Structure 1
Amino acid sequence: MAAEGGGLPEEGLSLWLTDWKVDRRVPWLGRHVVAVIGGRAVGQIDYFLHPDGQALEVNMLRVHPDFQRQGLAGVMMDALYAAHPTAWVNHGWRTKEGSAWWNQYREPTPQRNVHNRPPAEWAAYFNAVDVAADMARNAHQNRIYNLDGRRENVYRYGERLETEAALHTSSFQPVTPVRVNPGAQPLHGPAQLVLPPAVHDFVHDRAQDPRKQATALLEFVGHGNLPHDAYWNATPQAAFAELHHEALFAGEPPEQPVTHVVFTLAPLDRPALLVASALAESVDFDQFGDIAVEVTQLSWRQADRPYQTHSAEFTPAVPAAIAPLSARQASRAYRHRYDEGGFLRAGAREPARQPFADRAGQIQAMAERLLSSQASRARAPLPQPAAPPAAVPRLPLPERQPPPPGRRM
């Protein structure tokens, strides 16, 4: 994966800002900056973003060994600053390698780094004592490894570090976590599939009926096999992004074509049970057994062709289930409807829906009105036929004369 010439390639490098699923106990939003070269992730910054977008904390910066010491970390960090141009930035504490990198990195706007400003300015976002501890740890690392550490920018406390920091701890404003409500909105779950050639060709043929393609995909997966170990997202775009992020870090591309599928569910009828597993922008069902759901839509595309997305709606919604973590966790209702593989049992298949099944009352009322109208017409006297009109004399047609001599027809 090493770039020729000992530097980053001039073309083919892209940066992607995407979602990061963080622990539900973390009230801030998770985000990634991912560096991509040649269709593979070669670097990443993980960070937390305050819900109001005005503060962020870097959690980890890493670069693939083949691309280290080529400026990629600085490119990603510059992009992070550019993505949040007015936010306070907290870099936390650094490892030995991180301290060496920071020693040569030039911040675009060092005045937004909380280590370079007094706590009175940013203490509402970060615990001042924690920041002071990180600063002390970084200073210790710099002394050990004889590094400058950009010390000209670091804020100089007038008092002892911990004393001044303690003055501002009361300014810190904890964040109330934001949670997705699975009972009030659709959820979108991702799945990565390697389909048999015949199924793959059928579901990606744009000349086919999308509803039949979606039905074939659902039959292949199994109605009881909707993914339990995936995050169910608030938007289909986030579900597709999760699949793309996984593919970027998958190493060598698979030999067979991969299909990315997103299942869309109707709002669930047990939100109180599931709210404990909800994150800010997704829901994690991993700790639950099977969950009965209704699939309202399927979207799918080839992993290497994200610009060609197929989609089909199910009207009415199709009953299905998020698979249990193991067969032992399956409920009685699940075992009655699905076999050990998560496929519909023969007796559990939905009967063919009649097009007017839900309009029986309307049809009966219309039939009664028609019969009543027919009966009233039968009782009414028949109208007398009118006298035939007088014959109208016709003028005789003129006889056709032969053409004069010398004239042709």
Structure 2
Amino acid sequence: MATEESGLPEEGLALWLTEWKTSDTRTSWLGRQLVASIGRSVAGELGFLVHPDGQAVKVAMLDVHPDFQRRRLAGVLMDALYAAYPTAWINHGWRTTSGSHWWNGYRDPAPERNVHNRPPAEWAAYFDAVSVAADRAHNAHQNDYYGLHGHRDALYRHGERLETEAALHAASFRPAPPVRVDPAAEPLHGAARLVLPPSVHAYVHDRTQDSCARATALLEHVGHGNLPHDAYWNSTRQAAFADAHHEELTTLSPPVGPATHVVFTLSPLDITAVPGAQALATSVDFTDPGDLAVGVAELSWRQADRPYLTHTAAFTPAVEAAIAPVSAGDAGNAYRNRYDEEGFLRPASRGIAQPFADRAAQIQAMTERLLRGRTAWARTSPAPTPAQTPVPQPQAPQQPQQRPPGPGRRA
């Protein structure tokens, strides 16, 4: 193999351990992801599930971008997983064809922690012994079919039928207790990635200006009714920023300007009456297409290339806002009354005074009385005497009045 194909590129490799969002409510294991980035591009990803006590890991997905394959990147990701959980059992599951060929050339750093290599009595409390046996049989078939060794010497030789294996160890499996976010007891944090107009960008990132005024301007620019509906709402602000960073890495086309990552912090809310809402281990997924009224208690934002400079402003009391519906047709009446088709506040909702809004009936009755009085006066009054039309006299032209320049006008 050529050296330039076997080694990693010289521009640098970054490994990032972050959350892996999964809507599978059948498991209480925590989703995690190792992301390998080269420059501003994702080169590979390793998705896995971790037992709540951190002592068991199930590999779910290992993928390397075609541009970075055959450079040992998959091995780097797997080695990093072993290093991140140095005492945990590792269950690699079943392998695809390409995965079998890769595993055949991979050096397992800790084969003694691979559940395929140890008797079920040691790990059956974490993994279903029958499922592990089925995965192991699938991998053995792949190896035989393609003529691969597949580290078969390290595999556990149980010498028992599958039915016997199940009878001995299946009862040892202990499902992890469910872990779910409670939005009624803690705030939620959702992220949006924005490319702001230059003037807005300069103002909201100017640390010499009042932070609350800048947060208000940023929320006005986004629109109170435009909080992201396609984002997971996390239990921590850092997890929300991580979502925005992951979107930054996976964006196909680079932004036309510097990106701003914004995190909306919501006041605690009851989601039991929200159709389609799913409370997960560390986040909430609002899958319902309709809108959802919320309160923004805090706003945090930072430039994508300057994550160490974070701006934060709290709103006391919380600002009324809404998670946007998927489309305008999915919006409810309360949303339509407060926000326009683009999700921005209607004039009545911006606090503009409308002193006659609640006197429509009185004004209508007064108008009808005036019209009736005018009709009666016209019937009883004599016709007016024609008057001589005055001849207009020429006048000197008047000079236009000078007005001082104001906002939006040039001097």
What is the identity, as a one-letter code, of the residue corresponding to 2:19? D
Contact 1:132 1:162 in 2 (8 A): no
What is the identity, as a one-letter code, of the residue corresponding to 1:104? G
Larger displacement relative to structure 2 (322-331 or 84-93): 322-331
SS of the residue 2:152 aligns to: coil
Q: Are residues 1:155 and 2:185 paired?
A: no
**Alignment correspondent of 1:185:** 186
**Alignment correspondent of 2:236:** 235
SS of the residue 1:66 aligns to: helix
SS of the residue 2:99 aligns to: helix
How many angstroms does 1:286 deviate by? 2.4
**Alignment correspondent of 1:21:** 21
How many angstroms does 1:297 deviate by? 0.9
Question: Closer, same or farther in 2 for the Cα pair 1:230/1:169, shift >3 Å?
Answer: same
Tell me the TM-score normalized by structure 1.
0.82
1:126-165 deviations in Å (ceiling 9; x for gaps): 1111111110010000001111110111000122245324
How many angstroms does 1:266 deviate by? 0.8
Quote the Cα distance in structure 2 between the aligned partners of 1:280 and 1:31: 12
Quote the Cα distance in structure 1 between the aligned partners of 2:98 and 2:82: 21
**Alignment correspondent of 1:295:** 296
**Alignment correspondent of 2:56:** 55
Larger displacement relative to structure 2 (160-169 or 55-64): 160-169
Q: Are residues 1:286 and 2:287 paired?
A: yes
How many angstroms does 1:96 deviate by? 1.1
Q: Percent identity?
A: 67
Question: Closer, same or farther in 2 for the Cα pair 1:220/1:112, shift >3 Å?
Answer: same
Contact 1:180 1:275 in 2 (8 A): no
Q: Are residues 1:337 and 2:326 paired?
A: no
Question: Closer, same or farther in 2 for the Cα pair 1:115/1:42, shift >3 Å?
Answer: same
What is the identity, as a one-letter code, of the residue corresponding to 1:164? E
SS of the residue 2:238 aligns to: helix
Question: Closer, same or farther in 2 for the Cα pair 1:38/1:270, shift >3 Å?
Answer: closer
**Alignment correspondent of 2:367:** none
Contact 1:260 1:302 in 2 (8 A): yes
How many angstroms does 1:253 deviate by? 2.2
How many angstroms does 1:60 deviate by? 0.9
Contact 2:191 2:243 in 1 (8 A): yes
Contact 2:5 2:70 in 1 (8 A): no
How many residues are paired up? Answer: 350
How many angstroms does 1:336 deviate by? 1.2
For residues 64-79 of structure 1, the aligned pairs below 5 Å read 64-79=65-80
SS of the residue 2:255 aligns to: coil
Quote the Cα distance in structure 1 between the aligned partners of 2:123 and 2:6: 40
Contact 2:274 2:288 in 1 (8 A): no
Quote the Cα distance in structure 2 between the aligned partners of 1:45 and 1:270: 32
Contact 2:101 2:148 in 1 (8 A): yes
* 5+ residue gaps, structure 1: 353-409
What is the identity, as a one-letter code, of the residue corresponding to 2:345? L
What is the identity, as a one-letter code, of the residue corresponding to 2:174? Q
Quote the Cα distance in structure 1 between the aligned partners of 2:231 and 2:276: 16
Question: Closer, same or farther in 2 for the Cα pair 1:138/1:6, shift >3 Å?
Answer: closer
What is the identity, as a one-letter code, of the residue corresponding to 1:282? S
Question: Closer, same or farther in 2 for the Cα pair 1:327/1:246, shift >3 Å?
Answer: same
For residues 110-125 of structure 1, the aligned pairs below 5 Å read 110-125=111-126
1:155-191 deviations in Å (ceiling 9; x for gaps): 0012224532442111111223211011100111101
**Alignment correspondent of 1:221:** 222
What is the identity, as a one-letter code, of the residue corresponding to 1:38? G
**Alignment correspondent of 2:204:** 203
Larger displacement relative to structure 2 (4-13 or 260-269): 4-13
1:166-220 deviations in Å (ceiling 9; x for gaps): 4211111122321101110011110111111111111111221111111111001
1:81-120 deviations in Å (ceiling 9; x for gaps): 1111111110011111111111111111111111001111
Larger displacement relative to structure 2 (300-309 or 144-153): 300-309
Quote the Cα distance in structure 1 between the aligned partners of 2:24 and 2:93: 21
Q: Are residues 1:319 and 2:317 paired?
A: no
1:246-281 deviations in Å (ceiling 9; x for gaps): 111223422222111000111114456479511110
SS of the residue 1:315 aligns to: strand
Quote the Cα distance in structure 1 between the aligned partners of 2:186 and 2:217: 26
Q: Aligned Cα RMSD in Å?
A: 1.9
**Alignment correspondent of 1:131:** 132
What is the identity, as a one-letter code, of the residue corresponding to 1:200? H
* 5+ residue gaps, structure 2: 354-411
Quote the Cα distance in structure 2 between the aligned partners of 1:269 and 1:16: 33
What is the identity, as a one-letter code, of the residue corresponding to 1:345? R
What is the identity, as a one-letter code, of the residue corresponding to 1:278? A
